[in-house]
Chains A and B, each alone.
Chain A
């Protein structure tokens, strides 16, 4: 069993870091909260909604509207340019192309990459790609953003820049950020730190 006896409540505007050794269950917990996996038992309630009972289409809608993801390996779509990568979740949610692009452009401006809007992902540095991924996670104004080791594939300075950006955006936009990390810098910036050991919360600080 990857997770056992987990009881977690998150409030709006929190930046919660999730730490633990590899295999402790950090990613599994993010996947469960993000609606990408289903628990074998227990309940996950986000905004009063039990994720266990969601159909495939409802789970997709939940992922589209309620959560935003930031991955360790950025996971941008290589065949789309930067602007369309950010606009993608909005388009999937049914937003018109012009509206989605307008919102994407505003976010691109916010993450400091407005001059790279028509670049392809492989033309960007790792840090730039992760900024684009952050912007993509925010395009639908999701109240919850899940970040799985967002600095794990970046050098320390770039990682700190990304963490600074995430922190600032939490303050600006008031979403909740749950951050799985090994980084002490990330823990320092968080309002709460949860430690996982063998699938259970060890303590909370």
Chain B
């Protein structure tokens, strides 16, 4: 029986495929976005983690230290019986020029300084005895200094062969290395081309002063790893290093996933609307089937089977579309991650059949869930049709108190999730879900009360078309309520994003203005230090008022690596004071000069530190008191700021990370001019050219603005798609309502309503529906914005920012939604304006 029933339903669907197409589009689009964001995010995350893992090869643990490690440390760990193998490493990035090509800058390579005698235990392709094939002499690499081993593919692409020399720029001076061996493949999956050199060469190139960056270890399973770390040293598993990196952008990914889930929710709303539409359109068919003896159960099974089939088609399309979209999205993801967290190159998203199958099953489940209620309505179609619609509406009217109770429960659950004592982000999303559900259940209940009252008022004032439209909305509440709720959810999310982004951007730009007080900024282009002689060159510039030096150093605090900045000028420090979050600036400045410390807000949040707390950033020095907490959006892991004297006393590291130059002339465009002059001076310097970034204030500010906008491009695109799907849902609802009252519409036309008037009526209905959605979206959007600003950002990134009110943008958004609601009504309005009156009345009799 089921097969026959499904055949009947499918034959009907073939004749009028619009609802099926709507369902498939809704599920396919919603699922595609989730699959794309998840796929691209996973690929980026895997890659992020893998880069860290593969550089460590077969290491079970890695030992690092804030002051780097010494050969004695290596000897110490080698003497421990729990050590199966250990190898010292020096790593860093250096610019490459190719000899004989005019010394032009070509690329940046990752230099990996290894001990050829021990590295084979960790990177099997680099073996002393059998270097895994390749060409050239590995033995020369063992005995001759300034020799390099390269991956063959990359070397060939550069036109390098065994015996050729390559030039790296180290400390602004060219250093020539001879290529002695080519490996058949890169021993590690690094983001940059890899150049293997011995430890002595790496030390010379990277200026490590005889120290090691890392010791990779293979320890026995029962070894006490912690006992290997002396004070100021950290031992951890490589995986956790990679995971720590991946966690950095987990919040960014979760935010996008939440938004794409909203798109799926809206897609499910579209599928729900289409299912409702199908039930109405098919009422005569379903009634006849019931007359012919079809049981409710059989009808329910048939409708659900049909729904599952549509879900299958939509999900398969969605997964394929999503995978294709992920290929595009992953590049954007990687770009954002590069901007926020460092180097990452991801070129494609692999297709995983197992995951795809789960995603298809998920899509089918969403389709079945969204169509379950309409399916039940279809199955309970009585053999006699009269009063069917009014029965459904009466049923809904009876459920209004239940909806109010449900809404209250959702609000309470949302508040509990919001107040949940956790720093994790998941309870915040749970709270957002609860508030969305509360709005979705409350809105139909409010419409049940408000629409009849509005209709009475409109009637009393003689606005008969608006009264007619309001009456239609009111009487078709089982259709209009959920449609308005779906659009309201999409609009609320858009509004929340608008407010959050405007607030965030305003604050970031204000903060940038406050920290970018100097005119020209100098930093290394290759994650290196700024050579000392650059200071002298800068000082020779005309009209220079001040040069401020910023130094940074890693430190271990509570077993985690943190960044410490040492600043020698008042200007930079004062600039940061303008965003003082905790403390009084005069006291903070006095404390700062006396050697105390100022924390960035993410640092303070991460370690739960506040004004007056003490922290030890160097074991052999006394703790420092927190004299201020400043807002900062540059590093989401945060930093500690101290005076240059306190910094040098603790870390002794005179290396320079940044220079900030201030000029006496403050005319617009002058800083740009001086940046150009400095670049020219640096190019002509005897020890140049230097690989430095020299930027003026305005360019840096614009770059930051562009980076900010780039970060939120996906967010805005996802939001736009969700709103688009919601509007298709509105059009579907209006078509369904039109079908339900096709006789009424025919009467209107019979008594003289023109097609244009009918179109106007539909547009009014669309406008009313979108107005209700927009009104509900305002409070809901503000609640969601509060969650984003007050919870998501502090919990994800550790920073807070004050609210801004983009009134014009919000009003524009709401007006656009109203207009879109009216526009969505055009298709159904035109359609019903053209139906045959004679046919409509014939159907009635």
Contacts and interface: CB of A to CB of B under 8 A. Distances in A.
A72 B744 CA distance: 14
A92 to B, nearest CB: 5
B836 A57 contact: no
A200 to B, nearest CB: 19
A21 to B, nearest CB: 14
B596 to A, nearest CB: 73
B357 interface: no
A65 B754 CA distance: 12
Interface stretch (A12-20, A79-87, A158-166): A79-87
A92 B757 contact: yes
Interface in B741-758: 743-744, 746-757
Contacts of B743: 73, 75
Interface string A63-107: 111001101110111111100100111011100111001000000
B845 interface: yes
B167 interface: no
A79 B752 contact: no
A56 interface: yes
Contact of B841 (A36, A65, A87, A140): A36
Nearest to A76: B747
A116 interface: no
B462 A98 contact: yes
B841 A60 contact: no
A189 interface: no
Interface stretch (A26-34, A41-49, A124-132, A171-179): A26-34
Give chain B's interface residue range (CB within 8 Å of chain A): 35 or more
Contacts of A97: 461-464
B620 interface: no
Which of A36, A56, A61, A84 is packed against the most chain B CB atoms within 10 Å? Answer: A36
Contacts of B380: none
Contact of A36 (B468, B474, B756, B837): B837
A36 B750 contact: yes
Contact of A77 (B468, B837, B842): B468
Contact of B751 (A37, A96, A136): A136
Interface string A96-123: 1110010000000000000000000000
B455 A84 contact: no
B472 A60 contact: no
A88 B464 contact: yes
Contacts of B744: 75, 77-78
A73 B845 CA distance: 8
Given A61-B752, A71-B747, A31 B464 contact: no
B134 interface: no
Which of B467, B744, B751, B844 is packed against the most chain A CB atoms within 10 Å? Answer: B751
Nearest to A69: B750
Contacts of A37: 836-838
B748 A77 contact: yes
Which of B462, B746, B833 is packed against the most chain A CB atoms within 10 Å? Answer: B462
A79 B455 contact: yes
Given A34-B750, A75-B743, A77-B468, A60 B755 contact: yes
Contact of A87 (B464, B757, B838, B844): B464
A31 B845 contact: no
A88 B751 contact: yes
B754 A31 contact: no
B749 to A, nearest CB: 7
Given A73-B845, A92-B757, A101 B462 contact: yes
B475 interface: yes
A56 B754 contact: yes
A92 B845 contact: no
B187 interface: no
Which of A37, A57, A77, A79 is packed against the most chain B CB atoms within 10 Å? Answer: A79
A89 B467 contact: no
B467 A84 contact: yes
Given A80-B467, A84-B459, A75 B754 contact: no
B362 interface: no
A69 B844 contact: no
Contact of B837 (A31, A101, A148): A31
Given A36-B837, A97-B464, A98-B462, A57 B754 contact: yes
Nearest to B475: A79
B806 interface: no
> Closest 5 interchain pairs by CB?
A79-B471, A64-B752, A97-B462, A60-B754, A36-B837
Given A61-B752, A96-B462, 12 more contacts: A27-B841, A31-B841, A36-B837, A56-B755, A60-B754, A77-B744, A79-B472, A79-B474, A80-B471, A87-B464, A88-B751, A92-B757
